[in-house]
Amino acid sequence: VQKACIFDLDGVITDTAHYHFLAWQRLAHSLGLPFDEDDNHRLKGVGRMESLDYILAKGTTAYSMDERLALAQQKNEDYKTLIGGITPADILPGIVEALDWLKANNWRIGLASASRNAPQVLASLEITGAFDYVADAGAIPKGKPAPDIFLDVARAFGLPSSQCLGVEDAASGVAAIKAADMFAAGIGDADILAQADIVLPSPEGLVEKVLKPF
Ligand code: G16
Ligand code: MG
């Protein structure tokens, strides 16, 4: 029976969270608003406009839709500059091994990232060709924790949720996988990812502890 592994990008395949942090912090500070690592942690897996609104809510100024779009664009330009230097060396340990194993065992491989920059990051990591399908975050209105983006990948593969395994580092992402009725592998802190079916501290061990037993 055909199976699929559906990966999140930021925090699972590569660590772009730090670049999101730098770009959001720069924007927040330019508006006189605070932004620290704890704020960044809360924005994991959260979409761009929702993240902006979280930051703007720290102040009292009301912004029009046009102003908000301009601020989001400014952050994104900064982010794109920061990720311009990404290379295959930035792939997290355990990921290449997992992709090779999945390919050798004829699984479908998908990407369910909330980031509209995901195709560019995959290209910089030189692993675009490893993916059979990459969800278009811009075409999926309801972000994580809604199941939509994971269901979109399963639909593209023509597979039921029971044959799909999702890999996520964010609590909102694990919630999305479970809402989609799929097996959830969490990467990170077991307390934060308590909803996952299994949690590993890093992608190392995915093959032996998660993929082979599924
Ligand atoms: C990622 C990040 C989020 C980011 C979101 C949107 O999600 O974790 O912090 O806000 O994408 O990114 P962009 O502004 O590039 O469209 P994921 O799902 O890959 O973890
Ligand atoms: Mg993530």
The ipTM is 0.89
By annotation, the residues acting in catalysis are: 8, 10
pLDDT interval class at 41 (50, 70, 90)? confident
pLDDT interval class at 141 (50, 70, 90)? very high
pTM for this predicted structure: 0.92
| High-pLDDT (> 90) share of the chain, % | 96
Q: How far is the CA of 173 from the centre of ligand 2 (A)?
A: 7
Q: Positive or negative, the Cα torsion across 175, 105, 133, 4?
A: negative
> What is the Cα–Cα distance from 21 to 9, expressed in whole angstroms?
16
Count CB atoms within 10 A of the CB of residue 161. 18
Residues placed in the known binding site: 8-10, 24, 43-48, 51, 75, 113-117, 144, 168-169
pLDDT number for residue 95 = 98
pLDDT number for residue 151 = 98
Q: How far is the CA of 115 from the centre of ligand 1 (A)?
A: 4
Q: Positive or negative, the Cα torsion across 62, 25, 196, 128?
A: positive
pLDDT number for residue 173 = 96
pLDDT number for residue 1 = 81
Residue 72 phi, psi dihedral angles, 5° rounding: -65, -35
Residues placed in the known binding site for Mg(2+): 8, 10, 168-169
pLDDT interval class at 45 (50, 70, 90)? confident
Count CB atoms within 10 A of the CB of residue 213. 8
- Whether the predicted pLDDT of 117 surpasses 90: yes
Atom of ligand 1 nearest to the CA of 168: 20
User: Does residue 45 line the site of ligand 1, with CB under 6 A?
Assistant: yes
> What is the Cα–Cα distance from 185 to 1, expressed in whole angstroms?
20
| The amino acid at 98 | A
For the chain, what is the mean pLDDT? 96
Atom of ligand 1 nearest to the CA of 43: 9
> What is the Cα–Cα distance from 27 to 201, expressed in whole angstroms?
31
Cis peptide before 160 (omega within 30 of 0): no
Are 9 and 135 in contact, with CB atoms under 8 Å apart? no
Q: Kindly provide the residue ranges of all beta strands, DSSP E only, lying in 50-107, ordered along the sequence.
A: none
